[in-house]
Amino acid sequence: MNRSFVYEDLEVDEEAEGGRGQESFRNYLTPAGYQALREELEFLVRVERPQVVEVVAWAASNGDRSENGDYLYGKKRLRAIDRRIRYLTKRLESAVVVDPKAHGEEEERVFFGATVTVYDPVEEREEQWQIVGVDEADAKKGRISWLSPLAQALLRRTVGDEVKVRLPEGVRVLEIVAVRYE
């Protein structure tokens, strides 16, 4: 048996993370990100799960469950929904909502929730990134996690600062051009 499947290893893994279990982890979110997670949880609990339970109950009443596709798929979907509900519940319990608007428009230092405009002299273009929570990150929409290398390089810096960012393709030097809080 492979050691990676032994439950005893779970205790070792928590210790390996520096004693930071899920209960002590802070999940920073913007108000919009918190609301999006709440809405998804509400939808799963009030709409999707009851619909799937209804289908599974109907399929179970049809008799033989071993070859009943509706029943088997429904049970599988129900497990996936329950996993997502547990995940969202834990994330919302550990959520720390940080409102970017609390910094004011005059703030030039980069904090969580800031929308930062940076200039890349190599590619001669500006990029705009908003620093958000892990659950809100979407690079295609210009939203990066506060734990990402780029966000870590930008945090606590001010307009005019140059930052070095270590990325898989190499080190990039960026200049902070503007900071906004929306």
Per residue in 69-82, pLDDT tens?
Answer: 888 999 999 999 99
In this prediction, residue 14 carries a pLDDT of 35
Length of the chain: 182
Q: What is the mean pLDDT of the chain?
A: 85
Residue at 9 is within a domain: no
Question: CA 148, 154, 156, 158: dihedral to nearest 10 degrees?
Answer: -170
Asked if 83 and 108 sit in the same domain, the reply is no
- With 50 as the cut, is the pLDDT of residue 86 above it? yes
Burial class (CB in 10 A: 0-12, 13-18, 19+), 71: buried
In this prediction, residue 25 carries a pLDDT of 66
Q: Averaged over 6-10, what is the pLDDT?
A: 34
Q: What residues form DSSP beta bridges with 176?
A: 118
Residue at 33 is within a domain: yes
Asked if 87 and 104 sit in the same domain, the reply is no
SS3 92: helix
CA neighbor of 153 nearest in space, from 165, 144, 162: 165
In this prediction, residue 169 carries a pLDDT of 82
Question: CA 31, 32, 33, 34: dihedral to nearest 10 degrees?
Answer: 50
Domain end among 64, 97, 130? 97
Asked if 90 and 116 sit in the same domain, the reply is no
Domain end among 97, 113, 130? 97
* Higher pLDDT, residue 8 or 107: 107
Per residue in 115-134, pLDDT tens?
Answer: 999 999 988 999 999 999 99
Per residue in 18-63, pLDDT tens?
Answer: 334 444 567 899 999 999 999 999 999 999 999 999 999 998 888 7
Range(s) of the domain holding residue 49: 24-97
Question: Quick one: pLDDT band at residue 143, thresholds 50, 70, 90?
Answer: very high
Query: Measured between alpha carbons, how far is residue 115 from residues 15, 59, 86, 90, 94 in Å?
Result: 35, 50, 31, 27, 24
In this prediction, residue 34 carries a pLDDT of 96
Task: Look at the chain and report how many structural domains it folds into.
Answer: 2
